[in-house]
Amino acid sequence: MSAMTPVGRALEALGVPFREFSHEGPVRSLEQAAEERGQRPEQVVRSILFRLAQDEYLMVVVGGPKQINWKALRHVVGHSRMTMATPDEVRAVTGYEIGAVGPFALAQPVRIFLDESVMREEEISLGSGVRGTAVILTAADLARALGDVERVSVL
């Protein structure tokens, strides 16, 4: 079966095994997404976009519902001022709506940080580029597909 989503197609091109999961209705929370996928909330990976400066962004890929520690993030990034990207910025930079963002097939190149929380899980799920559909794969395969990204601890 061939991938239906942008992130799925990118993983397919990289030779990374995965499966796509489509929710039957709207997803209103990370906990709901996890339950419907047969996962724990810690297995749901979020790809969060931050603006460092005008036209300068970075993505942090984190596992689970915990909030990012801004002080730790500022330290590893080396920027004292940053904000979460607006929905319009997320759409422009990633090509995806909030809730569907994954770290592949992005509209613009972005520096990516992979939080250690992701690597604590065997299987994870993440945004596919299409709302209501997730890509499920192993954390090891995600790390391999991302390649040489910076590993951080920001939760």
What three-state secondary structure class fits 13?
helix
Q: Is 67 among the domain residues?
A: yes
Number of domains in the chain: 1
Q: Please state the φ and ψ torsions of residue 28, each to the nearest 5 degrees.
A: -105, -10
CB 90 within 8 A of CB 106: no
Whether residue 95 contacts residue 6, with contact meaning beta carbons closer than 8 Å, is answered with: yes
In a domain, 21, yes or no: yes
Whether residue 56 lies inside any domain: the answer is yes
pLDDT in tens, 83-113: 999 999 999 999 999 999 999 999 999 999 9
> Does a structural domain hold residue 84?
yes
pLDDT for 44-83, tens place per residue?
999 999 999 999 999 999 999 999 999 999 999 999 899 9
Residue 1 lies in a domain: no
DSSP 59: E
The residues that bridge with 121 in the sheet, in sequence order, are: none
Quote the domain boundaries for residue 134: 6-152
On whether the CB atoms of residues 68 and 52 are closer than 8 A, the answer is: no
Distance CA 105, CA 93 (A): 11
- 110-126 pLDDT tens trace: 999 999 999 999 999 99
What pLDDT sits at residue 146? Answer: 98
Q: Facing residues of 63 across strands?
A: 45
- Nearest one of 47, 31, 70 to 117, comparing CA atoms: 47
Q: How confident is the model at residue 3 (pLDDT cuts 50, 70, 90)?
A: confident
Rg of the chain over all Cα atoms, to the nearest angstrom = 14
- Report the CATH number that the domain containing residue 136 is assigned in CATH: 3.90.960.10
Over 90: is that where the pLDDT of 1 sits? no
Instruction: Say what the pTM is.
Output: 0.94
Residue 2 confidence (pLDDT) above 70:
no
Who's near 32: CB < 8 A, 6+ residues apart? none
